Amino acid sequence: MKLAILSRNGRLYSTRRLVEAARARGHTVRVLDPLRCYMRIAAGGFAMHYKGRPLKGYDAVIPRIGTSVSRYGNAVLHQFELMGCHTPSPSAAILRARDKLRCHQLLAAEGIDMPATVFGDNPDDTADLLAMLGPPPHVIKLNEGAQGAGVMLTEKPSSSRSVVEALRGLYATFLVQEFVAEARGSDLRCLVVGGQVVAAMRREAPEGDFRANLHRGGSAAAATPSSLEAALAVRAASVLGLGVAGVDLVQSSRGPLVLEVNASPGLEGVEAVSGADVAGAIIDFVASGRSLTRP
């Protein structure tokens, strides 16, 4: 099979592991910087070039598209799809996951529980918006943040109002969520591939922080999700249409909640602590040609 991996940097751990896993299984693989791909779009067909040469003959493409290049990277991925390439996570699914507001709407519509979330646009509605959520602490998130960046905790009503007003002054799009105190700065990252949890890790926030992201200084250990947690993670990925996803869960008094669904999860931390060959599982899923069907 001839594979393409869309990645800005071929030296990144996750990209390197996918290349190694693909070559170990006898596939031909090439890393393509999505920002160097350019497209011709016409009713008579679709074409794409890379550094002066046409891109053709690829059987599948694996997206490793960062949030900073979501818009263009997804256009490139969609172009591959229109040219007949298979992908484990379609461009439309990645866009659904990257837009936190839409992601939460879709998950909630399917009965998937998560921290209560409010969203509004007009400054005149701030007080009532926060009242809809309930008393602080509140978690305020930028709509397209990643790796814990753009996530803030406010502990007083005045602090929540101040942060909301500041973000509106910057024309930022954001959500406000309930703070799940029972989680105690811990979450469960489940790596879902092809409708199965292939690895998981428990992440703990560093002292003085509430974010368990490894990029924020959190620690991690191998974990085995319960059957309920695994089913919830698989269902969340399926609702969004993602064949590969990192689903973050937190424990609450009402059971596990979906905190976030990452369309391009890093592999380094979870492979290191679990010993699982997540990259190999992704390549095997891609080679199988299977696609997930959204419910």
Amino acid 144: pLDDT: 67
Look at residue 157 and tell me if it is in a domain.
Answer: yes
Residues 268 and 174 occupy one common structural domain = no
Amino acid 18: pLDDT: 98
Residue 171 pLDDT class (50, 70, 90 cuts) = confident
The total domain count for the chain is: 3
Residues 207 and 232 occupy one common structural domain = yes
- Tens-digit pLDDT profile for residues 4-23: 999 999 999 999 999 999 99
Residue 242 pLDDT class (50, 70, 90 cuts) = very high
Amino acid 172: pLDDT: 84
Last residue of some domain: 161, 179, 197? 179
pLDDT, mean over the chain: 91
Look at residue 149 and tell me if it is in a domain.
Answer: yes
Residues 87 and 223 occupy one common structural domain = no
Amino acid 16: pLDDT: 98
Residues 239 and 132 occupy one common structural domain = no
Amino acid 295: pLDDT: 42
- Burial of 97 (C-beta count, 10 Å sphere; 0-12/13-18/19+): buried
Amino acid 13: pLDDT: 97
Domain extent at residue 203: 98-112+182-288
Amino acid 165: pLDDT: 87
The residue-averaged pLDDT of 267-271 equals 95
Can you give the three-state secondary structure of the chain, one letter per residue? CEEEEECCCCCCHHHHHHHHHHHHCCCEEEEECHHHEEEEEECCEEEEEECCEECCCCCEEEECCCHHHHHHHHHHHHHHHHCCCECCCCHHHHHHHHCHHHHHHHHHHCCCCCCCEECCCCHHHHHHHHHHHCCCCEEEEECCCCCCCCEEEECCHHHHHHHHHHHHHCCCCEEEEECCHHHCCEEEEEEEECCEEEEEEEEECCCCCCCCCHHHCCEEEECCCCHHHHHHHHHHHHHHCCCEEEEEEEEECCEEEEEEEECCCCCHHHHHHHCCCHHHHHHHHHHHCCCCCCC
The residue-averaged pLDDT of 56-62 equals 96
With a pLDDT cut of 90, the percent of the chain lying above it is 74
Least confident of 32-36, 122-126, 227-231: 122-126
Residue 209 predicted with pLDDT over 70: no
260 and 117 Cβ atoms separated by less than 8 Å? no
- pTM confidence score: 0.89
Look at residue 221 and tell me if it is in a domain.
Answer: yes
Paired tokens of 73: 């990277």
> What is the rounded CA–CA span in Å between residue 220 and residue 178?
24
- Burial of 71 (C-beta count, 10 Å sphere; 0-12/13-18/19+): exposed
- Burial of 47 (C-beta count, 10 Å sphere; 0-12/13-18/19+): middle
Look at residue 229 and tell me if it is in a domain.
Answer: yes
The residue-averaged pLDDT of 250-274 equals 95
Residues 221 and 105 occupy one common structural domain = yes
Look at residue 214 and tell me if it is in a domain.
Answer: yes
Residues 41 and 68 occupy one common structural domain = yes
Residues 147 and 12 occupy one common structural domain = no
Look at residue 26 and tell me if it is in a domain.
Answer: yes
Residues 19 and 138 occupy one common structural domain = no
- Burial of 38 (C-beta count, 10 Å sphere; 0-12/13-18/19+): middle
The residue-averaged pLDDT of 258-273 equals 95
Amino acid 247: pLDDT: 97
Q: Return the CATH number at 28.
A: 3.40.50.20
Last residue of some domain: 179, 197, 227? 179
220 and 236 Cβ atoms separated by less than 8 Å? no
Residues 104 and 129 occupy one common structural domain = no
- Burial of 155 (C-beta count, 10 Å sphere; 0-12/13-18/19+): exposed
Residues 126 and 68 occupy one common structural domain = no
70 and 94 Cβ atoms separated by less than 8 Å? yes
Look at residue 293 and tell me if it is in a domain.
Answer: no
The residue-averaged pLDDT of 232-260 equals 96
Residue 257 predicted with pLDDT over 90: yes
The residue-averaged pLDDT of 102-113 equals 95
The residue-averaged pLDDT of 268-276 equals 95
Q: Return the CATH number at 225.
A: 3.30.470.20
Residues 188 and 283 occupy one common structural domain = yes
Residue 256's closest CA among 156, 168, 188? Answer: 188
Last residue of some domain: 62, 95, 128? 95
Residues 13 and 88 occupy one common structural domain = yes
